[in-house]
Amino acid sequence: MNTIELSTEERDDIKSLIEQLDTRIVPNEPMELDLSNDLHYRFYTKQLEMSGITPGNRPQLYRILEQARKEPLKSAAPRHVEPIASTTDYLKHDILLIDSLYLTKEGIAHGSALASLKNDPYFCSLTLGLYDVNGVLIGQVQTEDQYNSGTDIEVNATGSTSPDAEIKAVATCFHQAQDGTPYLKMTQASTIRGVTKIEHVHPQAQPGQDKIKLCLGRRGADCTYSPHNASGKNVLMPIKGSITYTSDIDPRPSDGRWCLITMVCPDAGDGGGATIRNTEDFFSDPNTKIEGNKISWDLIAKFESVSGVFIPNSSAIYTFTLSVILQSSNQPMFVSITNAPEADYGPTTKQIPPLMVYYSCVAEGTQVTLYDGTTKPIEQIEPGDKVITNLQGKVKEIEGVLKGTEELPMVRLKTNFGHDLLLSQGHPVVTPSGVVLAKSLKVRGEVVTDGGNATITQASQESYGGYVYNLNVGPRQEGNCDDSSTFYANGIIIGDNQMQFKYNRLYKYTSSAVLEALPQEWHEDYANHLKEKGEEYPVSAG
């Protein structure tokens, strides 16, 4: 693998910025770069150049960079992500982190970075480069772009070096928000080889399941973690594990010792995530113990607020990153535990099952249509009952029932056929044009019912204090896109607890939809991006 030669000035730029990151007050949080600062500008444009991004193939990006170069950053100090007020108060913010970094005994360095941004920026670019401690680039800088989105960007990089070297992963994330404001942040992590064992206990899927199921405001036999008394205000998810190293851990606080635990919402529509634990409350927790060459933890993530961070019925990316200093070398050792689907998994990156957030239901008393055409209140449905799933009379068996309460106002749907259904805002409803969340349904729109397509005459929100329920309809084939996980609720076809996962995962912006939402000045950049990916530019776009 070839190493790109950098000038002395370029290596000094990299070393200088890495030193700034190493001496920050808050470890492992992104540092905002100021493009009016010559050092910051030179560093970032060099990262782009080394990854193949130039003014020729990204003219709008470079126009924005040049404009930002003339306008000093408004804030005098680097802007950090919002810290959590307590372990029970999670604030949604943009996420940028290194989620994998390791070095093999053959001297092959691997790293990956993850970004997830709120509010669907017009453009987002994530770059990752691997370096030695002298600022020498290992391998090639890699980049990934997203247009009119920024919810789930992952980039991987590799390189060759000495098996005994200390390596650094440096990630930068640039995006232009929909108000036109540009943002550029940078983060890094360092490591050597030195882990002998990673033991991960929680969060973990139940035996026989391939997913971790976090039920907010719901209880069910197949929930991995759920609240007490069916309330969404006290969901407890344990975080437990241990790591054994090749030599003793330095127990003293230092710049090289940090921990960050995050939950990211990567589904289409909006990104970002929350910090569950950070350095201060991780190492100070009495259940975090350092004993010789082993560190162990047994913590609790307590979700008191279920709105704002998690998207109802969606996937979530859990990432635990930890860095400690080994006494034998006085060098940092990086370890991560994650379910990021595109992370570079290796000896110090532990992969755990996908994590799903369950959070939608219908009101108690809702009538569910059984296989023989009779109905039964949803609270009386039991596993093994058979229900009709579509207009063709397809029958499926109930595999599980969820019960809980609803904190947010629910949606009252009424149709011109006389249907009346109360369901949560995030519940999927089948319409003639596809699956739509209840909160997005509008009067004069249509839904699919036992009488065919019906017109919505009311779609209003109201408070509800009773119990709510949901069903798991199955079995079904993984990735199956038919309506086999739907059922009739008061005569309206709605999705079960698994359906929205399927549609969230399958949903991707088409190039035509991106161009429709993307400002004209970004179209040339996007066309070049599609060409590089081997994808066609929409003919109608010109």
Q: What is the mean pLDDT of residues 43-71?
A: 94
The per-residue pLDDT for range 207-246, each reduced to its tens digit, is 988 889 888 767 777 788 877 654 555 567 899 999 999 9
3-state SS track over 407-420: CCCEEEEEECCCCE
- Lowest mean pLDDT: which of 100-109, 287-296, 473-482? 473-482
- Lowest mean pLDDT: which of 67-81, 169-183, 351-365? 67-81
**In terms of domains, do 386 and 353 share one?**
no
CA angle 453, 485, 352 (to 5 degrees): 140
pLDDT at residue 170 is higher than 50: yes
Q: What is the mean pLDDT of residues 400-410?
A: 83
Q: Chain-centre distance of CA 9, in angstroms?
A: 37
**In terms of domains, do 306 and 438 share one?**
no
What single letter denotes the amino acid at residue 123?
Answer: F
Q: What is the mean pLDDT of residues 113-120?
A: 91
pLDDT at residue 540 is higher than 70: no
pLDDT at residue 381 is higher than 90: yes
- The 8-class DSSP code of residue 129 comes to E
**In terms of domains, do 368 and 336 share one?**
no
CA–CA separation, 155 vs 171, rounded Å? Answer: 9
Q: What are the b/e assignments for 147-171, b being 16+ CB within 10 Å?
A: bbbbbbbbbebbbebeeebbbbbbb
**In terms of domains, do 345 and 485 share one?**
no
- Lowest mean pLDDT: which of 126-135, 153-162, 176-185, 490-499? 490-499
Q: Could you tell me the pLDDT band of residue 425, with boundaries at 50, 70 and 90?
A: confident
Let me know if residue 438 belongs to a domain: yes
Domain's final residue, options 325, 358, 391: 358
Helix (H) or strand (E) holding 376: strand 375-377
**In terms of domains, do 336 and 353 share one?**
yes
Q: Could you tell me the pLDDT band of residue 541, with boundaries at 50, 70 and 90?
A: low
Let me know if residue 127 belongs to a domain: no
CA–CA separation, 55 vs 44, rounded Å? Answer: 13
CA–CA separation, 425 vs 451, rounded Å? Answer: 24
Let me know if residue 348 belongs to a domain: yes
| Proportion of the chain above pLDDT 90, given as a percent | 52
Which pLDDT value is given to residue 221? Answer: 76
Rg (CA), the chain: 25
**In terms of domains, do 326 and 400 share one?**
no
Q: Is 491 left (phi over 0), alpha (psi -120 to 50) or beta?
A: left
Query: Which range has the top average pLDDT, 108-112, 219-223, 436-440?
Result: 108-112
Let me know if residue 266 belongs to a domain: yes
Residue with tokens 């996420």, as numbered in its chain:
95
pLDDT at residue 77 is higher than 70: no
Structural domain total, the chain:
2
Following DSSP, what letter does each residue of 189-248 receive, concatenated? EEE-S-EEEEEEEES-PPTT-SSEEEESSEE-TT-SB--GGG-GGGEEEEEEEEEEESSP
CA–CA separation, 184 vs 44, rounded Å? Answer: 9
**In terms of domains, do 351 and 226 share one?**
yes
Please count the CA atoms within 13 angstroms of the CA of 73 that sit on its side-chain side.
18
Let me know if residue 172 belongs to a domain: no
CA-based nearest residue to 175, from 297, 49, 32, 74: 32
Let me know if residue 114 belongs to a domain: no
Range of the domain at 397: 362-496
Which pLDDT value is given to residue 5? Answer: 67
CA–CA separation, 183 vs 41, rounded Å? Answer: 13
pLDDT at residue 93 is higher than 90: no
Q: What is the mean pLDDT of residues 165-181?
A: 93
Which pLDDT value is given to residue 358? Answer: 75
Domain's final residue, options 358, 382, 410: 358
pLDDT at residue 273 is higher than 70: yes
**In terms of domains, do 438 and 343 share one?**
no
Q: What is the mean pLDDT of residues 8-31?
A: 70
Let me know if residue 437 belongs to a domain: yes
The per-residue pLDDT for range 459-511, each reduced to its tens digit, is 999 999 898 998 888 764 444 444 457 899 999 999 865 665 554 444 445 67
**In terms of domains, do 426 and 315 share one?**
no
Q: What is the mean pLDDT of residues 94-118?
A: 95
Please state the pTM of the whole predicted model. Answer: 0.82
Domain's final residue, options 358, 380, 398: 358
Helix (H) or strand (E) holding 328: none
**In terms of domains, do 388 and 492 share one?**
yes
CA–CA separation, 53 vs 65, rounded Å? Answer: 13
CATH number reported for the structural domain that contains residue 251 in this entry:
2.60.40
Which pLDDT value is given to residue 235? Answer: 66
CA-based nearest residue to 128, from 138, 139, 117, 142: 142
Q: Coil, helix or strand for 304?
A: coil
**In terms of domains, do 242 and 297 share one?**
yes
**Phi, psi of 39, rounded to the nearest 5 degrees:** -60, -50
Residue with tokens 């913590």, as numbered in its chain:
299
Which pLDDT value is given to residue 222? Answer: 76
CA–CA separation, 493 vs 388, rounded Å? Answer: 10
Which pLDDT value is given to residue 269? Answer: 60
CA angle 262, 265, 515 (to 5 degrees): 135
CATH number reported for the structural domain that contains residue 457 in this entry:
2.170.16.10
Contacting residues for 212 by C-beta, under 8 A, at least 6 apart: 203, 204, 205, 224, 225, 318, 339, 352, 353, 354, 355, 356
Which pLDDT value is given to residue 402? Answer: 83
What sign for the dihedral angle of Cα 439, 441, 442, 448?
negative
pLDDT at residue 25 is higher than 50: no
Give alpha helix (H) positions in 257-399.
279-283
The per-residue pLDDT for range 337-375, each reduced to its tens digit, is 999 999 999 999 999 999 988 777 899 999 999 999 999
The per-residue pLDDT for range 127-150, each reduced to its tens digit, is 999 998 888 889 999 999 999 888
The CA-to-CA distance between both ends of the chain, in Å, stands at 40
The per-residue pLDDT for range 389-400, each reduced to its tens digit, is 888 888 999 988
- The 8-class DSSP code of residue 282 comes to H
**In terms of domains, do 326 and 369 share one?**
no
Beta-bridged to residue 194, according to DSSP, are none
pLDDT at residue 531 is higher than 50: yes
Let me know if residue 350 belongs to a domain: yes
Q: Could you tell me the pLDDT band of residue 24, with boundaries at 50, 70 and 90?
A: low
